[in-house]
Amino acid sequence: MGKYKPLDPLEVPRFAGIRSFWRLPHLKEIPKDADFVIVGIPFDTGASYRVGARYGPEAIRSQSLILRTHNPVLDISPFEYCSGIDYGDIQVIPGFIEHSYETIEKEYRSIIDKEVIPIGLGGDHSITLAELRAIAKKYGPVALVQFDSHTDTDPDYYGHKYNHGTPFIRAVEEGLLLTEHSIQIGIRGSTYSKDEIDKARELGFEIVTAEEMFKLGVDKVARMIQERVGDAKVFVTFDIDFIDPAYAPGTGTPEVGGPSSREALELIRKGLKGLDFVGFDLVEVYPQYDPGFITSLLAANIIFEFISLIALNKKEGKRRERLDATNRKESPGNKV
């Protein structure tokens, strides 16, 4: 049973208490027996259209209060197998992206050095570059699974290297990614040039556009993710604009023609199951454009799926340990 887990909603009402994610313990010191850490990264001045994702972590935490403790689709109660805490927010510097990158990377290193899986709450998508820098210093280059309506591989923006449309071309240039194991899913919408998607493919990414995704179906795309990533360590980045704005209107650069929330959840469960995770993030939630909090509620539920997948890996690891122990006892060399 996980030591660090949410308050019991049958003992403490869900609307009561401080707004940590899922009402997890808020701790700045990472416990030795924690498996994952929720980390707010409220930086949004890397955005090119709307700003306001700095309030994303707060909104996601607030809507996470409705979460219960069992995932009936994956048939897992996460805190029977893993522990987690809410670290709070990294102190970014609004308007100063390179300084904020240094702060994010430094603090992320102190988190992942404790052998936990960080789950970042954005913030705009520019923050992922700093996360990947920290991840790569710990694990070397990793696979990337990117759910997004944009490739975010623009070479620059008004002559500057860093904004929320550039993190993954920079990550490739800096050697942070195993592009041969990386995939971008859901790409759609108007582009700045005819060859924008082709240029992302030339960087080494496998790309599944939204149109291709609908033609192939969830099961086929899920298998493509599994085959592409394989046994590589993987970082999962989820831009909420991957989902159609009918279901997630509260975002910075909405693109019509995307999947529903149900389709997105199914793809997460099937496509990510069993992968070797080193980190997650969810970005681009803008509460001021979010009627009824439906976007931040969806974001909280997506993170619930991420945590469930971490727990499934722990459960499978424990099952393998039991099988190995049984096999050792039953092996011929151990018989009298």
The SS3 call for residue 20 is coil
Spatial distance between the Cα atoms of 203 and 83, rounded to a whole number of angstroms = 37
Q: And the tokens for 133?
A: 């820098």
- How far from 213 is each of 44, 208, 221, CA to CA, in Å? 29, 6, 7
Per-residue pLDDT of the chain (336 residues; tens, 9 = 90+): 557 888 888 777 877 778 899 999 999 999 999 999 999 999 999 999 999 999 999 999 999 999 999 999 999 999 999 999 999 999 999 999 999 999 999 999 999 999 999 999 999 999 999 999 999 999 999 999 999 999 999 999 888 999 999 999 999 999 999 999 999 999 999 998 999 999 999 999 999 999 999 999 999 999 999 999 999 999 999 999 999 999 999 999 999 999 999 999 999 999 999 999 999 999 999 999 999 999 999 999 999 999 999 999 999 987 776 667 667 666 666 654
Spatial distance between the Cα atoms of 168 and 172, rounded to a whole number of angstroms = 6
Spatial distance between the Cα atoms of 135 and 112, rounded to a whole number of angstroms = 8
> Can you give the pTM of this predicted structure?
0.93
Asked if residues 78 and 6 have their Cβ atoms less than 8 Å apart, the reply is no
139: closest CA among 121, 159, 161, 118?
118
Q: Which residue do the tokens 């808020």 mark? A: 26
Asked if residues 161 and 120 have their Cβ atoms less than 8 Å apart, the reply is no
Positions of E strands within the chain? 36-41, 84-89, 117-122, 143-147, 183-187, 206-209, 233-239, 276-283
User: DSSP characters for 284-331?
Assistant: ---GGG-GGGHHHHHHHHHHHHHHHHHHHHHHHHHHHHHHHHHHHHHS
23: closest CA among 107, 95, 86?
86
Spatial distance between the Cα atoms of 60 and 81, rounded to a whole number of angstroms = 24
- How far from 88 is each of 27, 29, 301, CA to CA, in Å? 8, 11, 19
Give 166: exposed, middle or buried? Use CB within 10 Å, 0-12, 13-18, 19+.
buried
